[in-house]
Chains A and B, each alone.
Chain A
Amino acid sequence: MRLPTNCLALLLAATLPCISFAANADLLIDDPYVRLAPPNAPASGAFMLIRNTGKANRQLIKAESPAAKTVELHTHINENGVMKMREVAAINVSAGGQTELKPGSYHIMLIGMKQQLKEGDAIPLTLSFDDGSKKQIIAPVRKLQTTMPAGKGMQHGGMKQ
């Protein structure tokens, strides 16, 4: 019967995405950005949503950027109100799941910016995963919100920045 051969071919085809090491098409990066910090702040963070549409658990194990001297993976542990920032060896993204790098949680820490950040700057990041794949992304610099967005807060007049 020819059926088993076709099944075999299908199975083989299904494994092909796992074999390519250049980039893993199952991993998607949504809304990456680097937070704009004060001009003399030595460190800032890159945040994003990593989605794993594949069938195997994946881990982000390294991040690099030409824009900073040192790039590390960190998370925050909130112990009874005491915020502890800890470097982590890997950030897990489970199969079919997603992991959000966001303030107060996981983030890619950029230490020693080589040039002062400006809003809108495009920061290149290379993300390395445990399967050997790498992803090149651009994270735009986004300003920290320091003024109340329009419409919030009571309207007593004269409250603009």
Chain B
Amino acid sequence: MKHQNAWIGLIGILLALLLWLAFFWEPARTSDIDPRTPHTPLPVAEIPTGGDFTLQSPSGAVALADFRGKVVLLYFGYTFCPDVCPTSLAALAQALSALAPGELEKVQGLFISVDPERDTMDVLKIYVPYFHPGITGLSGTPEQLAQVARLYGARYMKQKPDADGLYSVDHSAFTYLIATDGTLVDSLPHGTSPEQIVDKIRTQLKAKTP
């Protein structure tokens, strides 16, 4: 056959590759990997530490530390958001409404606006309680917001305004679960059901050490 030599050559190359793979190739040794670098880097910012912060609410300054002893659910969003934020806030509201009064008084929802230009205290005062009175709207200077977002690994990016000056804000849509001692314990993805949120809250309430 005319192409016999070519075929032999090809087989030879593949065989050589196979031998190299079998005897010489090694996955990176774990000692070669910098132990400080995570194997699967978090897609959103650095590994979040959570932590205390102080922001403005329609009724004055609010610090996370004010809620020690309570389970806190934190969400970053903005009021121009037609879909994602109302969906998340509604899920949170449903979860809060399912708690017994004794449970609800130990839970606090916080909505931090990533759009301080439009989401003034007057706007938040009406928008947030519409979903549930147990959720408080917060905002601050762009620097303060960036700092808090960094603590929780939240990302947001204002988009270019259109001809009418309207713009959307890309943002991560997690609900952050903070234990009664103020530590960040979980990031609930968008779409977590109200029932699941209730379960998580109750787990944290039970975990409270007397």
Q: A81 contacts which of B87, B93, B123, B174 (Cβ < 8 Å)?
A: B174
Task: With A82-B172, A111-B82, A147-B97 given, name 16 new contacts (CB 8 A).
Answer: A35-B83, A38-B127, A41-B79, A43-B80, A76-B83, A81-B43, A83-B173, A85-B168, A103-B87, A104-B84, A109-B82, A144-B86, A148-B97, A153-B98, A159-B97, A159-B100
19 contacts between A and B (CB under 8 A): A35-B83, A38-B86, A41-B127, A42-B80, A42-B118, A81-B189, A82-B44, A83-B173, A85-B168, A87-B162, A104-B83, A144-B86, A146-B93, A148-B97, A153-B98, A153-B194, A153-B198, A159-B97, A159-B99
A78 within 8 A of B: yes
Number of A-B residue pairs, CB cutoff 8 Å, is 121
Size class of the contact patch on chain B:
35 or more
Report how far A144 CA is from B83 CA in the complex, Å: 11
- How far, in whole Å, are A70 and B44 apart by their CA atoms in the complex? 33
Please, how many residues of chain A have a CB less than 8 angstroms from a CB on the other chain? 40
Residues on the A chain within 8 Å of B79, using CB: 38, 40-42
A140 within 8 A of B: no
Q: Mark B119-141, 1 if CB is under 8 A from A, else 0.
A: 00001001100111000000000
Query: With A38-B130, A39-B130, A104-B191 in contact, do A158 and B82 touch (Cβ < 8 Å)?
Result: no
* CB neighbours of B83 from chain A (8 A): 35, 45, 76, 85, 103-104, 107
